[in-house]
Each structure stands twice: as structure tokens, then as C-alpha cells.
Structure 1
Amino acid sequence: MVIYLDHAATTPMLPAVVEAYAGALPVVGNPSSIHSQGQNAKRMLEEAREAVALSVGADSVEVTFTSGGTEAINLAIKGLFWARAPRNRILATRAEHHATIDALEWLQQHEGAVIDWVPVSDTGLIDLDYLNAALSDDVALVTTLWANNEVGTLQPVRAVADLAAAHGVPVHADAVSAYGYLRLDFPSSGLAALSISAHKIGGPVGIGALVIARSATVTPLFHGGSQQRARSGTMDVAGSVAFGAAASMIESDQSRLVALRDRLIDGVAVAVPSAILRGDPIHRLPGNAHFTFPGCEGDSLLFLLDVAGFSVSTGSACQAGVPEASHVLLAMGLDEPTARGALRITLGHATTVAEVNAFVAALPDAVARARAAGYADREPHLGH
């Protein structure tokens, strides 16, 4: 049996969500059609929109369904940027998700954006003093994570929004990793836009949403029908229904996950004393534990643990088949060799104490073998 400890990557679909999804798939009717079948599809869609809106305290009119978190983030960043022209400066950190960083770099290369990279601390916390000094009336937007997807650090979203509001600058928060694990109250956040995704809360892959404040203006990425406030395209009724079902089932599981996470962190500290916890030790996602292991390659650890029956993550990017050191850890000031020894363990609604205990028990052997492999690779090879 494989123990799944990679909930930050995706969560298993909940049985009730699978049932709702399967029930909606055969429904015939375009929700933009005015006949009865189309209106039935529209009713299902709007009920799902209401459920998603309720899960973050928003109004249903503020929810634009997307194909997932990546599209929601791109719509927020590019849409706010275009709507705020000729302002061309964007404030963000280098510890963001690649969906944000790649969108920013695209705007820099093709749309004349000037990216002002805000530093983060050694725990991944945004530098509010730098942000405050960098804010001015020529800034198009600020974008920040609500919670770091790799190291779990929680960002002071309301403080960021308050600083930006003094200059009339809209703020977008990527809350994909926070959604379902923290209570997100969109109206009190001060945000212009909030990105979320269904598959992080027990919903299906391929459906997400951008929550856009009534006061915010976002230029759409897609044109051709204006089916939604900020997005054209025939809407995915079944995916939306499944998203709504998952959103309506979000429970306050935070205290249980915090206890499990702390049990894991304490267990790792005893089992592998050289392991270093990364991210904020207190203000972090309930289910996130992220470590670096000196002398180990994170990929080696991942494969060894996989063979032992545990699914975890390095949290690092892998582009074109070439593993890279985590850009998040590098932004936090770690050097590349240290950053390459990372392992992210993330817990979810189905994680048990027994699974955490089993992981802690299996970890020392995996670390010892990964270190041995690393030392062997560094030894000079003699031969002809």
C-alpha cells in the first residue's frame, strides 16, 4: 500500500464529489442557451458558482470559473496589468509559484512590464518595508501568495493590501495552496482578485476560479461570447458542479492537521537530527512540513521513499527532464547544494497518525542511503 503525503500537489477526489461529477456529466444543454435544457444547465452552473463564492465569503457575481489555478493566476496578473495601463510596474517576490513568475516574465518580455522583485526573509516572508517603499502611483498591481506552495509560509495578505490601497494599487493573491486549509474571507482581505483551484480541495483537475472584487477591472484573456464577467467560452457545467460540491464540503480540519503536522515535524527532528525545517515555524500551512537534508539530493530521497511506499515531493521545478534547485529556497537565501536537498511532505483530510508514524520510521534509512549515494557520486572514479 502506498501512503500519499503529497496533498499540496493534488488531493484525492472526495467520493461525494465523484458522485456529483458523474451525475452532471450526462446533462445536455449549453448554459447560454435559452431553451429549458440550457436553462437547467445554467441553474446547475449558478448553484455551483454560489457554493464556490460562499466558500470564500464572496458574492457569486465575483466568481469567474477558469480551467484551473494557472489560468486564474494568468487572468488576474495579465488582466489587471492591461486594465491599469499605462502603469507598467508590478511588485512580486521571486518565491511565487511558477504560474505567477512565468506570467510576469512574459509581461516583461512582450508587454513592457517592469518587475520589481520584493525580497523575502529566510523563512519566505515578504519584506513589507521594501514593499511599502516601492509602492507608488505608477504600480499596476501587486501579486503575492497567500501561502507558499513549497515551504508553507503564510503571507500577511491584509497588510499587503492595506499598504497598496494607500496608492490605489490592486492586489492579487494566489490562494491555490491555502484554499481548503485556511479560512479565506475575500471581502475582509482587501484584495482585488483571488485565485483558487478545485483539485486542491478534493475536486477535479481542470476547473478553478478567479474571484474578482466588484470594484476591480480585469481585461479578459479570452474573447468570444462574454459568457462570464472576465472570460469567454462555453462553461464546464459538470466541472463546476464538482467544484461546487467540493467547496461546500470544506470543513474546519485545521486543528487536526496542525497536530499531525507538528507530530511529523517533531518526529523528523528526532529521527534525523540534521534535518532543517524550512519556512516559518509557526505561521505556516496546517498540513505542510518542508525540510532540507544536508548531504542528500532531494530527488534521491523522493525515489527511495517512493520505493518504500510513500508519495512525497521535492517541491522543486523539473523542466525538460533536468531537476533544478527550488527557486523558492534560492529566493530565501539558500545556496544551490542546500536547496537541492529538499523534501516537502504535505498532509490532507485522509492522512492518519499511523501514516505519519510510518513515514517517520522509514525516513532514517532513506536518508542514510541517499547520503551514501551522494558521497559515492562525489568520490573520484579510477579506471582506464
Structure 2
Amino acid sequence: MKRVYFDHSATTPVDSEVAKLVLEYMTDKFGNPSSIHSFGREVRKSVEEARDKVAALIGAQAKEIFFTSGGTEADNWALKGIAAANRKKGNHIITSSIEHHAILHTCEYLEKQGFSVTYLPVDENARVNVEDVKKEITDQTILISVMFANNEVGTIQPIKEIGKIAKEKGIYFHTDAVQAVGHYPIDVNEYNIDLLTLAGHKFYGPKGVGALYIRRGVKINSFQQGGAQERTMRAGTENVPGIVGLGKAAEIAKLNMEKEIAHVKALKDKLIKGITEKIPDIKLNGHPELRMPGNVNFSFLYVEGESLLLNLDLKGIAASSGSACTSGSLDPSHVLLSMGLTHEVAHGSLRLSLGRGNTEEEIDYCLEVLPEIVARLRSMSPLGAGSSTIESNPCSSCGGH
């Protein structure tokens, strides 16, 4: 059976060059970077070279990069670290309603610690309004955290404009850029970003490693205590294989980014065009233009997203749905609901996220099997085209997109 991977927003395959390097540092070059003998010194040098490469990918200085276990840890550190270090200055944080749960749950935790959090709404394309950011700033605001690009619908936020506002107001600005780093050009100085989260497994690096960029001079507490690693900011023996793999992935991403963007965007455009032409009663989710190059997200009216997902899997196509069936929850995506979709329409969503290894033949295969699956599921669904529940849904008027 043909196997097609269209779930790169969830994770990417490890690049072969990265995998080779990781193995080398798990076997031959196994020293502890804190050791002063030759085994340790050799590894320490490699860790710092990786730091240089990650910094170069986002236009930062090497000393502003701090390695973590991944994006979730970096998000937690950014929010909790800024909150704790700047509590005397203020207790207000601004974020958006469509952030990753690593941000939203951390904000909920901080609210229990006495902090005030504003959750900005988004428009029908999942984009934050810059004027809303300005309106919500108070003399107590210490941090603005808005993701660079949404993980579900791919919408790119007005990061440059938000960064400018934050700088003018003297407020720290953090962006969760896990979905964008390695796939979209980012310069932290151009965008006035003070803190940035990234994760290796989202751009062909290993899982279990990421980084937090912290601009020099930012007042932030350390993440954990117990050693001098990461300049005393993040204690614990470094994940050397992961770090060198992250560095290599960053190096490859920077070198090939322009070519990869063109390739993936062409596939995305073909897939969106084909789905739109072949399947009626659908809605493209996310901004039609300001979106990540490889993100495709549709709602298919009268169909459950989980059913689509399982039927595609039977055909060898890996994708993801907008409702959290794997967590045992019947609730649809908080992102889609924040965009104004009803529960019924949000439940019928499907994300197809493309990567550098995908081909036109794979797009053709998807366009061959997906319409058949949708038609079959609709023919069996109690929520068929004649359902008053769906027809009364205002979003159904967008179905012909």
C-alpha cells in the first residue's frame, strides 16, 4: 500500500545527515561537556557550534540561545521566567485565544498565581488585530506572547507590527515560533522579538530538543537550578546528541529554505485548488495568503473529521483532524471555535501539512482518494446535505470555496 505523510506540522522525519550526526554523538563522542578532559572539551566545542547555527537561523547572537527539551519547556520558561522576574513592575500578560496549549495552560497556571491574562480574539482567518493589542496594554503589562504561525490553520500573525508596539511601550515580546522556524525566514531583530521558542523535531531535527532565544538584557528567571549548564539558566547535563542534531537541522534549513518554500508552496497550492474543484460544501480554514507554505486545512460539511482521518489512514495517507479524539475529548479545536466556526463545522476539519519530501504524485493520489472518501461518508452520515442542523449554520454559505 502507498504510504503518504501529510502531517509535518505534528512532526517531521529526521534528516539523514542529522540522524548520522546524532548517532555519532551517542556512540563515539559521548563525553560530558562539563568535563575538562579531551572527551568533554570535544563535545563542548560541538555544543557551542550548534548554538552558533541555531542563532544564525533566526538572526540572533549565540549567547542568546538556550537549549531546552523542546517547545513546551521553552514556552513555560518564557512566560513563567518573565512573570517571576518582573512581578514588581506589573502582573499583566497579553496572549491570543488560539495559542498552543503550552502557552494557554501556562497562562492559566499564572492566573492562579495572581497574574492577569488577556486572551485576544482573532478574526475569521485566525489573525490577531493589532489594534486589539494596543487597546489591551496597561501600565501593568509586562509581556505580550503571540505565536508566529498557528499550528492548526497555518495563519501567520502580524508579528512585526506587534513587536514594534511592544518595543515602543517597553514591554517584552515573546513568540512561539515552533511552526515557523526552519520553514519561514525570521530575524528576531527585524521583528523586535525579545524571546522566541523553537523545537527541533518541527524542522527535520530530533525530538526532545529545542531552544529559547532570550534577547540580551531581558530580565528573566532561570528555568531550573542545580548546575552551571546553559550559563546557570537551565541546569542539567546537556542533551548533546539532540543539540548537535538541532544545530545540523538549523544549518540545513537555513541553506535550503528558499528552495523548500517554493517547492512546498507549489504542492500546497495544487492541493487546495484540487480539493476546491473536486469536493463541494467545504471551507478553507486560515488566511488564504498569509499562511505557512505547507499548511492546508479544510472543513468538510456533513462529515466528521475523525472519520476522514481514519479512512485516509486506511489508504496510507497520514493527516490530522481538528477535534481532539485522541485525548478522549469530543470538543473540537479551540482554534477553529475562536475563528467563529460552529461545533458541527469545526468537527469536520482536516489538516494536511506538507514537507520537503512530498511529491506531486502524492498530491495526485490524495486528490484521487479524498473525494471518494468524503462522498461515501456523506452518503452514510445522519448530518447529510439535507440536515437542518448544518443548513442553519452560517458557515455553510462558505462551503463552495
TM-score category, normalised to shorter length: over 0.9
Q: Which runs of no fewer than 5 residues in structure 2 stay unpaired?
A: 388-401
The answer to whether 1:316 aligns with 2:323 is yes
**Which of residues 99, 103, 127 in structure 2 aligns to 1:100?**
103
Q: Deviations over 1:192-218 (max 9, x none)?
A: 100001101111100000011002122
Q: Which runs of no fewer than 5 residues in structure 1 stay unpaired?
A: 380-384
Return the TM-score normalized by structure 2. Answer: 0.91
SS at match of 1:290: strand
Contact 1:47 1:244 in 2 (8 A): yes
Alpha-carbon distance, 1:272 to partner: 0.6
The answer to whether 1:19 aligns with 2:20 is yes
Q: Deviations over 1:83-119 (max 9, x none)?
A: 111311111111111111111111112x111111111
**Which of residues 338, 344, 355 in structure 1 aligns to 2:351?**
344
Distance in 2 separating the partners of 1:281 and 1:41: 45
Q: Deviations over 1:152-174 (max 9, x none)?
A: 10001110011122221101000
**Which of residues 10, 30, 33 in structure 2 aligns to 1:31?**
33
The answer to whether 1:211 aligns with 2:218 is no
Overall identity of the aligned pairs, in %: 39
Deviates more, 1:193-202 or 1:368-377: 368-377
The answer to whether 1:247 aligns with 2:250 is yes
Contact 2:144 2:166 in 1 (8 A): yes
Q: Deviations over 1:302-346 (max 9, x none)?
A: 001110110000143346422420000111111111111110000
SS at match of 2:135: helix
**Which of residues 150, 153, 169 in structure 2 aligns to 1:151?**
153
RMSD between superposed Cα atoms in Å: 1.6
Paired residue total: 378
Q: Deviations over 1:255-303 (max 9, x none)?
A: 1211111100000001112211010001000000100011011001000
Report matched runs for 1:1-384 at 5 Å. Answer: 1-26=2-27, 27-86=29-88, 87-109=90-112, 111-229=113-231, 230-250=233-253, 251=256, 252=258, 253-318=260-325, 320-375=327-382
SS at match of 1:199: helix
SS at match of 1:43: helix
Distance in 2 separating the partners of 1:255 and 1:263: 12
Alpha-carbon distance, 1:144 to partner: 0.7
Return the TM-score normalized by structure 1. Answer: 0.95
Contact 1:135 1:164 in 2 (8 A): no
Contact 2:306 2:325 in 1 (8 A): no
Distance in 2 separating the partners of 1:318 and 1:140: 36
Distance in 2 separating the partners of 1:280 and 1:307: 30
Contact 2:93 2:144 in 1 (8 A): yes
Contact 1:192 1:215 in 2 (8 A): no
Runs of 4+ in 1 over 4 A off after TM superposition: 376-379
Letter in 1 for 2:49: E
Letter in 2 for 1:5: F
